[in-house]
Amino acid sequence: MMRAALDVHYRTDGLASAAAVCFQHWNDPVPAQVMVRLMPTPADYRPGAFYRRELPCLLALIREMDSPPDLLLIDGYVTLGPRAGLGRHLYRALDAVLPVIGVAKSPYPGAVGIAVHRGSSRRPLYVTAAGISLLTACGALRRMHGDHRTPTLLRMADRLSKRGPV
């Protein structure tokens, strides 16, 4: 099974940098594959419609993968209470066949998820999911490599998206 941690960063030059860190096992310390791509930022930021900006970048990155992953992890929420978050929009755009786990660093009022503590951090990560049970998603996040709040490979996706392609 191949999993992919995805993240997008918006640069000041009008480009978006999207990163995918692919891995096979939840406790892998290093990725099996890494991709970083630059693309035009598809939309301006609009409160309440963040997915319109992020979703096209994630979909473009997934389409470029040699073989599609079996599960996706994103930096953000799958659901925002009664509303769909980025992860739900991604799940639907991929015909609801790829499970999506959302891992957020900040609480969102009304979001239905589970707070997961990792390492010695007092601050939790907030987990939401689509296509996979929330308890299974939380267990997977707990098993991911790293002694810190954010798992090693999720942190790597964040850093790679900010650094951009080399």
pLDDT at 48: 66
Q: pLDDT (tens digit, 9 = 90+) per residue, 71-112?
A: 999 999 999 988 999 999 999 999 999 999 999 999 998 888
pLDDT at 66: 86
User: Considering just the CA atoms, what is the radius of gyration of the chain in Å?
Assistant: 15
pLDDT at 43: 74
The gap from C-alpha 152 to its chain's centroid, in whole angstroms, comes to 13
Quote the CATH superfamily of domain 3-163: archaeoglobus fulgidus dsm 4304 superfamily (3.30.2170.10)
Sequence-ordered list of residues with C-beta below 8 angstroms from that of 12, at least 6 positions apart, any chain: none
Return the domain boundaries, the chain. Answer: 3-163
Residue ranges in the chain whose pLDDT is less than 50 = none
In whole angstroms, give the CA distance from residue 51 to residue 48: 8
**What φ, ψ does residue 111 adopt, rounded to 5°?**
-70, 135
pLDDT at 52: 77
pTM check: above 0.85: yes
